[in-house]
Amino acid sequence: MISASFNCGNDALRTLSIRREISVKPESAQAGNARTSSRVMAEGRKPHRRALGIMWLSKLMYERMCTATWIHDQEGYQLLFNRDEKLTRKQAAPPRLAVRNGVRFLAPADGDFGGTWIAVNEFGVSACLLNGANMTGVTSRGLLLLDSITERSAAAVCERVCGLDLSPFAPFTVVAFEPGRPAALVQWNGAKTTFVPYGDSYMPLTSSSFDPWRVRRERRDEFCRLLTSRGHLDADLLFEYHRSHGPARGPYSPCMHRADAETMSFSWIRVTPSGASFFYNPAAPCKITEPLADARGSELRI
Ligand SMILES: [Zn+2]
């Protein structure tokens, strides 16, 4: 068990959380799977293992950056997500209501392969996917969430991902949410899986294949700057962060702009006892010009 802190240099703004990381070997390296099974079952869950009924693709490698933030409150939680893509990618389809294994969920669809990177289901469970290192895979990572978003808890989403044969996938991070519980993460680095049941200290979470260390540092610094300036964390600050062009409009700002790529969409999921809503902007969040309350008139609910 490791104690981890998120520290912007101001004790009043410091958020402490306990981070417990559980390493899980890839299935391909698990003759008998004893270690994975015992570790997952030690958390009170059965290992899940089944083949993905999904299409196989030729070598996939994309330069992608994404940024996810979230906040828990007494009502539930909110999840905000910038999806950054090459301009050559097909435009994604906006969120729609879908049903899988009898479970209703809202999710946009990738324009090239039909998977998704963010979804919320009728149980108030949501998940998002951030690509990892710029390595090749033979199966689209966007298909992972479609397979796991039918679960009733964030831990079950992670368990489902951990139980899959991930060897065809390039590295990624899946973050899952449910009301009243910390974010849960699964990170796949191409060789092993790490499960983080208490993942709130990872926020803001950035995945980048372009100058990744500087991107993470610059975006985290910008988050700290905004948090220090405002003095408290709330959803409005997170929205401001996703629209931010700090330290300068370009490849390192949370709202990203380059000659060949930019933030292609902004998603904002809110889960309360009355249900879930999904606000989606099919462009960079800095391009939202109408009042947010008006823009939200088009959001979907489940
Ligand atoms: Zn922008």
β-bridge partners, 184: 176
User: Would you tell me how many other CB atoms lie within 10 Å of the CB of residue 33?
Assistant: 16
Beta carbons of 288 and 298 less than 8 angstroms apart = no
Question: Can you give the residue ranges of every domain in the chain?
Answer: 17-209+264-301
Ligand 1 centroid–CA 64 distance in Å is 16
Ligand 1 centroid–CA 187 distance in Å is 28
pTM for this one? 0.81
C-alpha–C-alpha distance, residues 43 and 22, integer Å: 10
Strands (DSSP E) along 164-226, which ranges?
172-177, 184-188, 193-196, 205-208
Ligand 1 centroid–CA 86 distance in Å is 15
Ligand 1 centroid–CA 218 distance in Å is 15
Ligand 1 centroid–CA 25 distance in Å is 39
- The CATH architecture of the domain made up of 17-209+264-301 is 4-Layer Sandwich (3.60)
C-alpha–C-alpha distance, residues 204 and 122, integer Å: 25
Ligand 1 centroid–CA 74 distance in Å is 31
Ligand 1 centroid–CA 53 distance in Å is 37
The kind and range of the H/E element at 240 are helix 235-242
Tokens (6 digits) for 6: 């998120």
Ligand 1 centroid–CA 23 distance in Å is 37
Tens-binned pLDDT, residue by residue, of the chain (302 aa)? 333 334 464 433 333 333 344 554 433 333 333 233 333 323 333 334 443 333 333 333 344 579 999 999 988 999 999 999 888 888 899 999 999 999 999 999 987 777 899 999 999 999 999 987 655 555 677 788 998 999 999 999 999 999 999 988 888 999 999 999 999 999 998 899 999 999 999 999 997 667 778 888 999 999 999 999 999 999 999 999 999 999 999 999 999 999 999 999 999 999 999 999 999 999 999 999 877 777 777 789 99
Beta carbons of 169 and 188 less than 8 angstroms apart = yes
